[in-house]
Amino acid sequence: MTETATRGDWRSWQESWDRQQEWYMPDREERFRVMLDMVEAFVGPEPRVLDLACGTGSITARLLDRFPEATSTGVDLDPALLAIARGTFEGDDRVTFVTADLKDPAWAERLPHASYDAVLTATALHWLHSEPLAALYGRIGRLVRDGGVFMNADHMIDTSTPRINAAERAHRHAAMDRAKAGGAVDWAQWWALAAEDPVLAGPTAERFAIYGEHADGDMPSVQWHARTLRESGFAEARAVWASPSDSLVLAVK
C-alpha cells in the first residue's frame, strides 16, 4: 500500500465516523460551528487547543480548517480511534496526540503544554459517572489559562421534563429508523466494519478489551455541569447552544 493510499484510507475512516455520529446527531456540525465561534470570541483565531477525548480528531479537523494557525493536542485512550486520528493528521506539525486515561489523576502530566487557551470536547464525557467527571473538571480548571475557555457538547438530560424528553426521543428515533432503512450505519455496525479491517482489527480488539461494549456513565443536566464547572475554578458557565437532545456548555476561566 502506498503512502497516498494509506492517507486516503485514514480519511475515509474519518469521514465514515462522522457519518455514523451524524446518524445519532443530525445537528452535529451546528454545535461544532458554535463551539468554534466561541473559541474565536474569547481567545482569537490562533488558539492552543486541547481536544479532550478526541476520538478520530473531529474537533481538531474543524478547528484547523477554520483557524489554520491554531495548534491542537488530542488526548484519548481508544487505540482504534487514535489510530485513525494519527493517520489522518500524519505530518501535520500543528497536531499532537497523547494516549491517556482521563480517569487517571496524572493524565495531564502527559500533555506537551501546561496550559491551554481552550479545552474542547464533544459526545464523550457521558461515558463518565458524575463523581469522576467532577474530578476531571477540577483538573481541566487548572489547565485552562485565565481568560480561556472550556466547552463540552454532550447529552445532558433534564429529568424535570419527562414528557418533553419522551416526545423528543420518540421523534428523534423515528428519524433514525428512516435513515437506517436508507443505509445509515450505526455504532455497532461501524465497529464491526473496523474489526474486519486488516489495519484496525488489532486496535479495535484492544479498545473493546479496555471499554467493553459501552461505558455506563451519567448524563447530568446543564445546571449540574455549569455548577460543577464554577466549583472547579471557572468564573462563569452556562449553555450557549442546545438542541432538543444535546447542549453545549461554555465555561470561562
Task: List, in order of start, the domains of the chain with CATH numbers.
Answer: 3-252 (3.40.50.150)
Largest CA distance in the chain: 55
Tell me what pLDDT residue 106 has: 96
Tell me what pLDDT residue 68 has: 98
- Dist. CA 128–CA 77, nearest whole Å: 13
**Tens of pLDDT, residues 124-165:** 999 999 999 999 999 999 999 999 999 999 999 999 999 999
Give 26: exposed, middle or buried? Use CB within 10 Å, 0-12, 13-18, 19+. Answer: middle
- Dist. CA 58–CA 121, nearest whole Å: 10
String of DSSP letters for the chain: --HHHHHHHHHHHHHHHHHHHHHH-TTHHHHHHHHHHHHHHHH-SS-EEEEET-TTTHHHHHHHHH-TT-EEEEEE--HHHHHHHHHHTTT-TTEEEEE--TTSTTGGGGSS-S-EEEEEEES-GGGS-HHHHHHHHHHHHHHEEEEEEEEEEEE---TT-HHHHHHHHHHHHHHHHHHHHTT---HHHHHHHHHHSTTTHHHHHHHHHHH-SS-------HHHHHHHHHHTT-SEEEEEEE-SSEEEEEEE-
- Dist. CA 32–CA 134, nearest whole Å: 23
What average pLDDT does range 20-39 have in this prediction?
96
Residue 46 has pLDDT above 60, yes or no: yes
**pLDDT tier, 5 (very low <50, low <70, confident <90, very high otherwise):** very low
Average pLDDT, the chain: 94
In this structure, the strands spanning 116-122 and 95-99 are: unpaired
Picking from 2, 123, 114, 134, the residue whose alpha carbon sits closest to that of residue 50 is: 114
**Tens of pLDDT, residues 182-233:** 999 999 999 999 999 999 999 999 999 998 877 678 899 999 999 999 999 9
Tell me what pLDDT residue 3 has: 39
Residue 65 has pLDDT above 90, yes or no: yes
Tell me what pLDDT residue 89 has: 97
**Tens of pLDDT, residues 83-105:** 999 999 999 999 999 999 999 99
Specify the range with the lowest mean pLDDT, choosing from 6-10, 94-98, 175-179: 6-10
Tell me what pLDDT residue 215 has: 67
Q: What percent of the chain has pLDDT over 70?
A: 96
Question: In this structure, are residues 35 and 187 in contact, taking their beta carbons and an 8 Å threshold?
Answer: no
What average pLDDT does range 18-46 have in this prediction?
97
Tell me what pLDDT residue 213 has: 75
